[in-house]
Amino acid sequence: KFGLFQRDICQNTAYRYRGALLRYQVFLGDNPPSLSATYEYLGGLRKGTFDPSTLRVYAVALSGYHQWRNEKLIFPVKVPHKEAKLVSAEAVEKILSLAAANPRDERILRLMTDAGMRREETVNATVGSIEDGWLRFVGKRNNERRIPIARRLAELLAVFVVGKSSETSLVGVGEKGVYGLVKRYAAA
């Protein structure tokens, strides 16, 4: 567990790797881990209904585990390239108009649509992230990003930040809350 969270990967990826290792531990039962057991386990997953991208997560997690044991696991997984699903501008505008009645919901959605922030970035954004009309935050692969704040988002943030400390979250919910909010507005 300690090694997973010290690596240069995001926390969600570390949790996925940890889950894969825990499931492998259940598969092993009382048997000791070995390369042959890992190949048997991954082969069984490949024959099952596992999505290739999920299988790759398991293979990478177990490869890291065997690397830690000074063993080399080679288990290639081909993941077909998927095109990103685009949401039409009309659908985004409709969702934002539905959220206009709730300033917090609109603020969350506009951080994602107007500033292009990912879910984790949105959740981690604080009042201190706002600097002279710009949002500054750490994005994917620990890259610092600086994004100009769109007019409507600036209006929402100006009302929200009054009297708040720089450590105050801009959204006040976790990743599951943001996921549920987006899903709820998309369904509406």
Alpha-carbon dihedral sign for residues 134, 137, 139, 144: positive
Sequence-distant (≥ 6) Cβ neighbours of residue 7 within 8 angstroms: 14, 64
User: Is residue 2 over pLDDT 50?
Assistant: no
Tell me: the pLDDT tens digits for 134-159?
998 887 777 888 989 999 999 999 99
User: In which band, very low, low, confident or very high, does the pLDDT at 184 lie, cut at 50, 70 and 90?
Assistant: very high
Radius of gyration of the chain (CA): 21
CB 155 within 8 Å of CB 69: no
How far is it, in rounded angstroms, from Cα 102 to Cα 18? Answer: 37
Cβ atoms within 10 Å, residue 36: 8
Percent of the chain with pLDDT over 70: 95
User: In which band, very low, low, confident or very high, does the pLDDT at 4 lie, cut at 50, 70 and 90?
Assistant: low
CB 55 within 8 Å of CB 88: no
Alpha-carbon dihedral sign for residues 13, 15, 19, 25: positive
Instruction: Tell me what the mean pLDDT of segment 12-16 comes to.
Output: 82
Helices then strands, each counted (H, E), the chain: 9, 3
How far is it, in rounded angstroms, from Cα 145 to Cα 5? Answer: 23
Sequence-distant (≥ 6) Cβ neighbours of residue 156 within 8 angstroms: 103, 106, 107, 110
CB 154 within 8 Å of CB 132: no
Q: Look at the pTM and tell me if it is higher than 0.85.
A: no
User: Is residue 10 over pLDDT 90?
Assistant: no
User: In which band, very low, low, confident or very high, does the pLDDT at 48 lie, cut at 50, 70 and 90?
Assistant: confident
